[in-house]
Structure 1
Amino acid sequence: MSRIRTLLAGLCLALPLSFALLSASPMAGAAQAAPVTVPVGAQFTDTSGNLLHAHGGGVLKAGAYYYWFGENRNADGTFRYVSAYRSTDLRTWEFRNHVLTQSSSPELQVANIERPKVVYNASTGQFIMWMHKENGSDYGEARAAVAVSGTVDGAYTYLRSFRPLGHMSRDITAFVDTDGTGYMISAADENYDLHVYRLSADYTDVASLVRVWDGYHREAPAMFKRNGVYFLLTSAATGWQPNQAQYATATSITGTWSAWQNAGDSLTYGSQPAFVLPVQGTSGTSYLYLGDRWAGAWGGPVNDSRYVWLPVQFPSGTTMSLTYARQLTIDAAAGTITSTGTGYDRLSVRHSGKCADVRNGSTANLAPVIQYTCGSGANQQWRIQSVSGGYVQIVARHSGRCLDVNGVSTADGAALQQYACGSGANQQWTLQDAGGGYLRLVARHSGKCADLPSSSQAEDVQFKQYPCNGGQNQQFTRTSL
């Protein structure tokens, strides 16, 4: 998420897919893409087996290929590269180039470069990258930056950074309308405002400010257009922690926009918008939400962040929705995206067959996690999401809060509860194989197991932590929903 404190995020640009582009990369002869399976909330690897780093990025369709550009950071979180990858199927990504590096300009020797978005200017034949630039030590610069290239995945020439028309600029995206007009959207004025700028004819400068949301405190803008309706998807500004995504719609970028409406759950399934990609094929056009699950939310380095991709659904011509899933099947040739599973699990303790449950469906911090007869309630459904070092967080569906050991206690008998997700090791767990299809939940901070005291069969007994001992009251079945 873009940061006033430690803000940064992912954002979105969508551009017409109908133009033909020239690239130094060979585009002819690419194989017809077959349907692929894409996990939700995972890291990606490229065709060489290396972790793919395109955080906060955007995707550009050029010829037969999709090009994905994004942040590739140093261990301390500062700028290292903008890296570029290409794919025909949106799953098999080939590393192409570090298209912008610290040596691209003296300004970039020590810097933060976030949310790079590349657009193509059909009049000039140039690829233009817009990005958010800071000085590498704090977030006081709040500048937009621009780089250009004659080839989509070649070296980009860094032009400059500046404050658009004198305004602060943090989270940023770029959008090319169907008439060829370019726009840049950015969070402004300490992230309290959101600005839409019309770009110059060559897309390398700001020509005018055409729309302002004043005082809404939105960031991570992602714009796309569907059937003549503009959608602007955003997040609130809460540092690395996820929050409720909201969107507005209009039939004119400079005209009247709708009120902000929610998309996804209260934490956008633990992600923040980075991009919305139209996937156009023989059967039509689908829209793909690309979100980042930022590692800063659990205290990890940015390059440990995960990708949350979900199909965008449209209940009407002016509304959109996001539903969580375990995995997607993307057929880029057909332009179709389907999802499998809810992405949530039920955890039932072996000795009693009862489920891990947040008492009375409470959404409050400190609500006890108990055993209760399994049912269909969302307070018995958990999103198990990977974090750094092989650990997971276990997030209650109904509340968006994490399974937590009270008070970071390492003592025997410390209570298990739900609490707002953070970076504490008392919210990080190892899923340890217990044999026979069962698993143990081992707390990172204490090394102790989630345990149902005295192997009770009764309803409403709270889970505690105790030394792992092989008992069935410490063994769980994980059932996908």
Structure 2
Amino acid sequence: MPAVAVGLVGLLAPVAVATPVAAAPVTVSNGTQFTDTTGALLHAHGGGMIKVGGYYYWFGENRNDNNTFRYVSVYRSTDLANWEFRNHVLTQSSAGELSVANIERPKVIFNASTNQYVLWMHWENGSDYGQARVAVATSSTVDGTYSYRGSFRPLGNESRDMTVYRDDDGSAYLVSSTNNNADLNIYRLSADYTQVASLVRTLWPGNWREAPAMFKRNGVYFLVTSGATGWAPNQGRYATATSITGTWSGLANLGDSITYGSQSAYVVPVQGSATTSYLYLGDRWAGAWGGRVNESRYVWLPLSFPSNTSVTMNWYPRLSIDTVTGQVSGVGSGPAYVTMRPRHSGRCLEVLGQSTADAANIVQYACNNGGNQHWQPLDLGTGYHQLVARHSNKCLTVPNGSTAGAVQVQQFPCQSGRTDQQWQFTDLGSGYHRVTARHSGLCLDVDGSSTADRARIIQWTCTGGTNQQWQRVAVG
């Protein structure tokens, strides 16, 4: 599904903008939805960024409940954590062919010769993916209302997931999945960035890559992509080149086998007084658990470079970002997803029957690597975690905030203020933890110390028994 990318020069646009107050270091949690400065949910899915003055502008998809196009929305921030809503730069009423459409992966680059911001997108007709076109819009201001200039197939070729990249010399490129995602094309854009001038290279024919995100570091171009598995996450991969139009390396793995439950959307250079960090922006698509696009989460991770032509990405539950110095680093430890195994039985904590419904019961069952046995320990930064089921994106909950013993835990939609969804992990040594509900002080427990499949998981007075000792085993 959707993606992004940009190089540092393509990210910086020399335009007069109000000077922001210098940003202080901030912390961002992973695997969550973001909110803007008014508290409203931030919708910049599949999006891209451009830096203008001291502000980062984040453009992205803002969908209707049926997942069709509603807006391309833009937000701005100085610190990459506190986002101010600025505008819906493109709407259903911007043009006739946008009234019913799918618009995905919006990216903006600045053309210094025309003084125009140019927005590129993937365009579909709103009912299927048979059109496979790009669309273009322009504006004289970064967060103004964009004028829609139409959709087309680049040089007659299909175009699905795509990104645009502006190089140091001012040349610009479109990178897009084509041939039903089997191939990936790189095109040179026209001088005004609104048309495709030529095809310069087809990469890895028949490798089924999508979600392209391009950036440049120390003269080396990096292109991050995902496999084509619909909404489900898969192994991210990257390649390098010393020239966009030249020979690219083979594909190497990035992150774990599911890219920590995300798909590449963008890589933003964070340039500061001390260093330049490179920050991976990914989407954890809600379609993977049957949700709507606007319910999707964000995964942001710092990139590391063992050599000039290699990149690695590790999981962190939170990030520390300092846009003044350019320092981006991970906070905390542990895997993106775990299975939870009681010591006495070695079975796995699971949502019974792979249900995605509210109030579905939590049991123990023989470990089988199902998504209903995968849990994200979402670090709330308070000493407590939510445990989020991968298959449903719902939280391990003591229903109705009960403080009674023997109450079976269930799954419910995650809510930040619910203490009956907040769990404290206490290290018991040997890789095991006591898991305590914040609201009640009772422990996560396998009822009656049963070793059977489908045994109830309850809260109970903490006894120190092995049926209350939980091992977190990394998934992936």
Q: Same fold, TM exceeding 0.5? A: yes
TM-score, normalising length: structure 2: 0.80
The question of whether the paired residues in 2 share the 8 Å contact of 1:328 and 1:339 is answered with yes
Paired with 1:412 and 1:265, the residues of 2 have a C-alpha distance of: 27
In the alignment, structure 1 residue 430 sits paired with structure 2 residue 396 = yes
- Deviation string, structure 1 residues 70-93 (Cα, Å, up to 9, x no partner): 000000000000000000111110
Q: CA deviation at 1:322?
A: 0.7
Paired with 2:294 and 2:118, the residues of 1 have a C-alpha distance of: 24
Code of the residue aligned with 2:348 in structure 1: it is: V
Partner of 2:449: 455
Paired with 1:355 and 1:275, the residues of 2 have a C-alpha distance of: 44
Q: 1:94 aligns with which of 64, 68, 84?
A: 84
Q: 1:21 aligns with which of 5, 10, 14?
A: 14
Specify every segment of 5 or more residues in structure 2 that has no aligned partner in the other structure, as ranges: 373-388, 414-442
Q: 2:367 aligns with which of 410, 414, 417?
A: 417
Paired with 2:76 and 2:6, the residues of 1 have a C-alpha distance of: 17
Q: CA deviation at 1:20?
A: 4.7
Q: 2:4 aligns with which of 11, 18, 21?
A: 11
- Deviation string, structure 1 residues 419-454 (Cα, Å, up to 9, x no partner): 443899788552337869x99742569xxx986364
Q: 1:354 aligns with which of 343, 357, 364?
A: 343
Q: CA deviation at 1:275?
A: 0.1
Say which SS state the counterpart of residue 268 (structure 1) adopts.
coil
Task: Count residues with an aligned counterpart.
Answer: 418
Say which SS state the counterpart of residue 288 (structure 2) adopts.
helix
Change (3 A) 1:127 1:412: closer
Q: CA deviation at 1:179?
A: 0.8
Change (3 A) 1:297 1:426: closer
Paired with 1:477 and 1:27, the residues of 2 have a C-alpha distance of: 52
Q: CA deviation at 1:16?
A: 1.1
Q: 2:38 aligns with which of 35, 45, 48?
A: 48
Partner of 2:140: 150
Partner of 1:226: 217
* Identical counterparts, % of pairs: 53
Say which SS state the counterpart of residue 32 (structure 1) adopts.
coil
Partner of 1:235: 226
Change (3 A) 1:411 1:348: closer
Partner of 2:437: none
Code of the residue aligned with 2:311 in structure 1: it is: M
Partner of 1:250: 241
Say which SS state the counterpart of residue 260 (structure 2) adopts.
helix
Paired with 1:53 and 1:202, the residues of 2 have a C-alpha distance of: 29
Change (3 A) 1:169 1:89: same
Q: CA deviation at 1:469?
A: 6.9
Paired with 2:147 and 2:70, the residues of 1 have a C-alpha distance of: 16
Paired with 1:208 and 1:49, the residues of 2 have a C-alpha distance of: 44
Say which SS state the counterpart of residue 139 (structure 1) adopts.
coil
Paired with 1:212 and 1:245, the residues of 2 have a C-alpha distance of: 19
Paired with 2:306 and 2:345, the residues of 1 have a C-alpha distance of: 33
The question of whether the paired residues in 1 share the 8 Å contact of 2:236 and 2:259 is answered with yes
The question of whether the paired residues in 2 share the 8 Å contact of 1:72 and 1:303 is answered with yes
Partner of 1:341: 332
Q: CA deviation at 1:417?
A: 3.3
Q: CA deviation at 1:455?
A: 1.1
Code of the residue aligned with 1:324 in structure 2: it is: W
Partner of 1:400: none
Paired with 2:296 and 2:321, the residues of 1 have a C-alpha distance of: 22
Paired with 2:300 and 2:392, the residues of 1 have a C-alpha distance of: 28
Code of the residue aligned with 2:221 in structure 1: it is: Y
Q: Map 1:55-94 onto structure 2 (within 5 A).
A: 55-94=45-84
Q: 1:303 aligns with which of 294, 302, 306?
A: 294
